[in-house]
Structure 1
Amino acid sequence: MITRRSLLALTIGLTLTTPALAQSWKDKYPELVFALVPAENATGTLDRYTPFANYLSKELGVKVTMRIASDYTAVIEGQKNKQIHIGFYGPGSYARANTVSGGNVIPFVTTKNSDGSIGYYSVMYVRADSKFKSIEDLKGTTLGFVDVESTSGFKAPNFFLTQQGFPIDRYFKVGQTTGSHENAVLALAAGTVDAAVNWWNSEDDSNLTRMLHKGMVKRTDGTLMKKEDFRIAWKSPLLPGSPFAYLADMPDDLKKAIVKAFVDAPQKDKDAFAKLSDGKDLGFVEVTAKDYEESVKMNLWLDEQRKKKAS
């Protein structure tokens, strides 16, 4: 029988034990580092993600420090060395992080697009005022990449175009990295490259549409460009959604808390969540390493190609 006295004793017991359990991982992880590779300039990324980092701090009860990395390799190495607890990747860069960390970097969520789908595409843009309309028209031209660890901006185009009979190193005159998704678009707008690869979710949700919305894309004479000034000459098969990944060797209760905070974000902080995608995404969905097995295979194939060229 539960009496008033036994209920009081039970309450005291819970008071003494529960906080100790709740604080167990917080004592070891008083601060969590959340790292991103900017798909836009660093200022834009800070503006987009700071409210979400603040939300995570509130939900998890520890300080969440956001870091904007210069490139994908910085995030990969940071997680490998356990200096970054949560990283945001493309599928290919995640696969690299998983490999170099000995499997200690694992994905836990990705986003659901506005139409309910999961995943995105790599596309190759050309200017609408050029003579180029398809990949067949681009032989011997200059192609702008993003970063060698970018899935949409390097890995996927190399992998799929080779399968389709258009190996980039032989089909294009020059393939040059621009350093970021934004830089690739700006190089195309300026005429520095004839085509540029980038990420694309839908007609109204892509890096290009976000840049155009901000008035960032201009012709050499300074006039603003519009969506109609570009066309897609090539589009990849559907890629897995870009994952957020954490360190597998962190405490299970910490990992569960992180997953819950992400999944609950659209309901608990609608504005912070909406800001991540300009209100385009519907929510976070849980994923596992199994969802990215094809990305690992893509990486292995690219590594083999590099070895063949070096030998």
Structure 2
Amino acid sequence: MPTAFTRRTLLAAAASAAAGIVHGQAAQRPLRITAIPDESPTELARKAAPLVRYLEQRLGVKVEFTPVTDYAAAVEALASQQVDLAWFGGFTFVQALQRSGGKAVPLVQREEDQKFRSVFITTDAGIRSLADLKGRTLSFGSPSSTSGHLMPRSFLLAAGVDPDRDLKRVAYSGAHDATVAAVASGKVDAGALNISVWDKLVADGKVDAARLRVFHTTPAYYDYNWTVHADMPPARREQLARAFTDLSAATPEGRQILELQRATRFIPTRVENYRGIEAAARSAGLLK
């Protein structure tokens, strides 16, 4: 018959084994990532695939990319910890910070995101400046897009053009490439979008440069970043951040990922970089 000491020893061993199993399961849980749907689902999946493979190799865990239906879903997924890592624009990061009660932590941004810009495009020869948009139709991207709505709206207001009062009609395409399509097809007179998407479409020959042109480029502002929830262990945060900052165009793998992410390199970022975005959102009445 087991003694009291033996029973205690067996119970302690069982508890230790159970804890080890739980710890092992937690360690093996996939890293779940998502991104705001600022481009077509096909393009987002193409950009994500090599990054997923790279992070699996660096972290030693399975990585799962989960697309979302809209910007709000990306914010909610990170705030409720349905995903561990999210690619946000500046405005969606600010929304996630608010929605999570201050628990959204920006890890890294592209070097380009320190001085990001938006462009206004048109096929109309009569549109040469922001003031010329009065009485015309204009498409933004998603209502929650930094570079496709918030900052273009902010710069329009600064130029004395109130989109809701001075334009004939304001539309929302939902994504940057969709904005280009709307302008190209004549659905709207002009559109505002992310400069890196525009440059990529031009470089790939997907824009009829004889018809579509940029008539205004905005001043620079901070934009996109990769964000995690504050509950992620510091060691994992550091591991993730290092994986991004170690990406280099000097290696075939790094070059492919950076090209798809439209990045020269990734650098650390911080909450303070997005205070200007928050102020612009509040000023425009888009954040309460």
Unaligned runs of at least 5 residues, structure 2: 1-18
Distance 2:84 2:261 in 1: 26
Distance 1:143 1:269 in 2: 42
Of residues 209, 228, 231, the one that matches 2:213 is 231
Of residues 122, 127, 151, the one that matches 1:126 is 122
Once structures 1 and 2 are overlaid, which stretch shifts more, 286-295 or 65-74?
A: 65-74
Partner of 2:152: 157
How far is the alpha carbon of 1:215 from its aligned partner?
A: 4.7
Partner of 1:209: 199
How far is the alpha carbon of 1:41 from its aligned partner?
A: 1.6
Tell me, yes or no, if the aligned pair for 1:48 and 1:276 is still in contact at 8 Å.
no
How far is the alpha carbon of 1:232 from its aligned partner?
A: 2.2
Distance 1:279 1:67 in 2: 17
The one-letter code matched in structure 2 to 1:160 is: F
How far is the alpha carbon of 1:289 from its aligned partner?
A: 0.5
Partner of 1:31: 30
Partner of 1:76: 75
Partner of 1:64: 63
How far is the alpha carbon of 1:180 from its aligned partner?
A: 0.8
Distance 1:210 1:26 in 2: 41
How far is the alpha carbon of 1:37 from its aligned partner?
A: 2.2
Pair 1:84–1:269, CA change in 2 (3 A):
farther
Once structures 1 and 2 are overlaid, which stretch shifts more, 117-126 or 181-190?
A: 117-126
How far is the alpha carbon of 1:140 from its aligned partner?
A: 0.6
Tell me, yes or no, if the aligned pair for 1:112 and 1:281 is still in contact at 8 Å.
yes
Pair 1:79–1:306, CA change in 2 (3 A):
closer
How far is the alpha carbon of 1:86 from its aligned partner?
A: 0.6
Distance 1:169 1:236 in 2: 19
Partner of 2:233: 251
The one-letter code matched in structure 1 to 2:155 is: F
TM-score by length of 1: 0.79
Indicate the percent of aligned positions where both proteins have the same amino acid. Answer: 27
Distance 1:263 1:76 in 2: 24
Distance 1:61 1:88 in 2: 21
Unaligned runs of at least 5 residues, structure 1: 1-19, 201-205, 218-224
Question: For the aligned residues, what is the CA RMSD?
Answer: 2.6
Distance 1:39 1:99 in 2: 21
SS of the aligned residue for 1:110 comes to strand
Pair 1:26–1:92, CA change in 2 (3 A):
farther
Pair 1:278–1:57, CA change in 2 (3 A):
closer
Distance 1:171 1:24 in 2: 59
Tell me, yes or no, if the aligned pair for 1:274 and 1:280 is still in contact at 8 Å.
no
Distance 2:125 2:250 in 1: 47
The one-letter code matched in structure 2 to 1:246 is: V
TM-score by length of 2: 0.85
Partner of 1:99: 98
User: How many residues matched?
Assistant: 269
Distance 1:150 1:284 in 2: 21
Distance 1:165 1:287 in 2: 32
SS of the aligned residue for 1:253 comes to helix
Once structures 1 and 2 are overlaid, which stretch shifts more, 92-101 or 291-300?
A: 291-300
Write the deviation string for residues 107-165 of structure 1: whole angstroms up to 9, x where unpaired.
1100123xxx83311221112x5321111211111000100110111111222221221
Of residues 166, 173, 177, the one that matches 2:161 is 166
Write the deviation string for residues 245-285 of structure 1: whole angstroms up to 9, x where unpaired.
01111111111111111111227964355344358522100
Write the deviation string for residues 205-224 of structure 1: whole angstroms up to 9, x where unpaired.
x312322444544xxxxxxx
Question: Are 1:240 and 2:222 counterparts?
Answer: yes
